Amino acid sequence: MTYLGATPVLVDSEPDTWNIDPELLEKTIVDRKAKTGKYPKAIVPVALYGMPYKADRIMEIANKYGIPVVEDAAEGFGSRYKGQMLGTFGKYGVLSFNGNKMITTSGGGALITEDEEHWREIMMYATQYRESYPYYQHEKIGYNYRMSNICAGIGRGQMTVVNDHLAHHKHVQKMYEELLKDVKGITVHSQPNNGDYDSNYWLCTITIDEDVKIKGQEDAYKTIVTGAVGGAAGVIHAAESAHTDCEPNANVEAMRVALDKAQIEARPVWKPMHKQPCYKDVPAYVNGVSEALFKVGMCLPAGPYVSDDDVRYIVDTIKANIIG
């Protein structure tokens, strides 16, 4: 969106799914119209950690105001809401096949749409807008975004294991739920239990109450982390400070470090977009939910190579680092 010169308008999360809050979405639409005279050009719900958003409410609001929906189902491949696959509710659905997603083509993704005319136009843009001449003829400026045949071949291979992966992620989630259910102050984030949700549990997440004491918590954030998430090809920007103005609680950071020492890669949950310095000036409609979640949330390993023994080891390590 930003690449295209559009201004993102950020809408905060709801507590049960952690996804876009439909009520706040509608307030945002009404307020944008009042402030700018225009409705937003698109609504982009994100299936955070694979959890379905309230697709029916979002579509209802989108249709009421005539705004197209582009589903960011990058993390939600195979998740369903009321039985329907994510990515098939909106005008467009987007999937990611990045290396860390439910299936991978090493990089790239897929666009889902039922609109054949738009699909044709999109494919033109994805392939440098090349017209059918013996030489390169470009009527418009396109992009070089098509998937290579090698990546597509990997993706076709991955399609044969997608059901195994989905079953595995749900199994790992069940194990975390079971093994952590009696641990005071730790809550496994689970889908609402009303039959509407079928999350792929791409990532399993927990929250750690602020009053849970974790070993080494006094020393959390004492040293500047180098390269926990950032960096590519060995290039990193050295952080100026161990702190930012919005960060996980010290006990969550202490737990991350403790797990890291035990060879377990855990991460904070995604930082709210309105707290990213690059988006400090964009309009944000907040309710405190995403910021509160960022302080207490943590992602646990859930990928295809995480065995039952691994889950038990992870849970035992979590328990061993709780002081009280």
Ligand X SMILES: *Cc1c(COP(=O)(O)O)cnc(C)c1O
- Give least dist CB 50 to ligand X, A: 9
Contacts of ligand X in 56-85 (CB under 6 A): 72, 74-75
Q: How many chain residues are in contact with ligand X, going by CB under 6 A?
A: 7
**Cβ of residue 73: shortest distance to ligand X, in angstroms?**
8
Nearest to ligand X of 179, 228 (CB atom) = 228
Nearer residue to ligand X within complex by CB, 100 or 137: 100
- Which C-beta is closer to ligand X: that of 11 or that of 322? 11
Q: Does the protein bind ligand X through residue 109 (CB under 6 A)? A: yes
Residue closer to ligand X by CB (options 21, 75) is 75
Give the nearest distance from C-beta 97 to ligand X in angstroms. Answer: 6
CB of 75 to ligand X, least distance (A): 4
Q: Is 276 in the site for ligand X (CB under 6 A)?
A: no
> In this complex, which beta carbon is closest to ligand X, that of residue 7 or of residue 98?
98
Regarding 98 and contact with ligand X (CB under 6 A), the answer is yes
CB of 302 to ligand X, least distance (A): 14
| Contact pattern for ligand X over residues 20 through 49, marking x by CB under 6 A | --------------------------x---
> What secondary structure, in 3-state letters, does the chain show?
CCCCCCCCCEECECCCCCCECHHHHHHHHHHHHHHHCCCCCCECCECHHHCCCCHHHHHHHHHHHCCCEEEECCCCCCCEECCEECCCCCCEEEEECECCCCCCCECCEEEECCCHHHHHHHHHHHECCECCCCCCCECCCCCECCCCHHHHHHHHHHHCCHHHHHHHHHHHHHHHHHHHCCCCCEEECCCCCCCCEECCCCCEEEEECCCCCECCHHHCCCCCCCCCCCCECCECCCCCCCCCCCCCCHHHHHHHHHHHHCCCCCEECCCCHHHCHHHCCCCEECCCHHHHHHHHEEEECCCCCCCHHHHHHHHHHHHHCECC
Footprint of ligand X (CB under 6 A): 46, 72, 74-75, 96, 98, 109
